[in-house]
Structure 1
Amino acid sequence: MEPVQLMLLKGKGMFYIREGERTIAEMVFDKSDTALTVYHTEVVPEAEGKGIAGELLTAMVEYARQHQLKVVPLCPYVHAQFKRHPERYQDVWAQSR
């Protein structure tokens, strides 16, 4: 399994993990000047339960921090993790008030 990689083109992007020629996990987002809006996280069934979605989440949050971006977690997985661990993500979480 390869490390998390980033693909970004014209404000649309994804963090992804490949195993050989195959993408086994991805987190899809849009990027603006101030925010990452995360829409979807998916891990292939045979790779589920191995912490791979967490690796994508960590990479995305590190990217947001490095670029001073807020995260709009429309993806159910990301939103659930932000709600479960607000102390870890409060600095990047764009919560509606």
Structure 2
Amino acid sequence: MTDALPEIRLEDTGSKGRYFIRSAAGDEAEMTFSKAGEHLIIIDHTEVPEAFRGQGAGLRLVARAVEDMRAAGKKIIPLCPFANAQFRKHAEWADVLKG
């Protein structure tokens, strides 16, 4: 991962939300989620445009969600194939994975 990427921002619309990184040129990498009750989110989509490829943007988005949900005492269902693959690679995230 690189620290050269812009900051990750959170947009929360009540029942849904997204984490995103926006470049100066306006490109956006995003990971969207839906809320399933008070203590659970479902990561349903991750998209990383060509401008962000190879920079660890997708992993940073998922990792940020893990950090935030851990701090809030919530669990994650990684429905998105990319997020699911990241959870399989990161055993240290097991505490936030809804089993």
Note whether the superposition's TM-score is higher than 0.5.
Answer: yes
For residues 16 and 48 of structure 2, what CA distance do their matches in structure 1 show? 19
* Aligned 8 A contact 1:64 1:92 in 2: yes
Residues 54 and 15 of structure 1, relative CA distance in 2, 3 Å threshold: same
In structure 2, the CA distance between the partners of 1:49 and 1:21, relative to structure 1 (3 Å rule), is closer
The offset of 1:18, in angstroms, is: 0.6
| Structure 2: runs of 5 or more not aligned | none
Shift of 1:21: 5.5
1:33 maps to a residue whose letter is: E
Superposition RMSD in Å? 1.3
Residue 33 of structure 1: how far off its partner (Å): 0.4
Offset of residue 2 of structure 1: 2.2
**1:91 match: secondary structure:** helix
Give deviations 1:14-35, integer Å, cap 9, x for gaps.
0000112614200000123011
Q: Which runs of 5+ in 1 are unaligned?
A: none
Partners in 1 of 2:95 and 2:53 — Cα distance? 28
- TM-score normalised over the length of structure 2: 0.87
Counting matched residue pairs gives 94
Q: Which runs of 4+ in 1 moved over 2 A?
A: none
Counterpart of 2:38 in structure 1 is 33
The alpha carbon displacement at 1:63 in A equals 0.9
Identity, % of aligned positions: 33
Is contact 2:27-2:51 (8 Å) kept? Answer: no
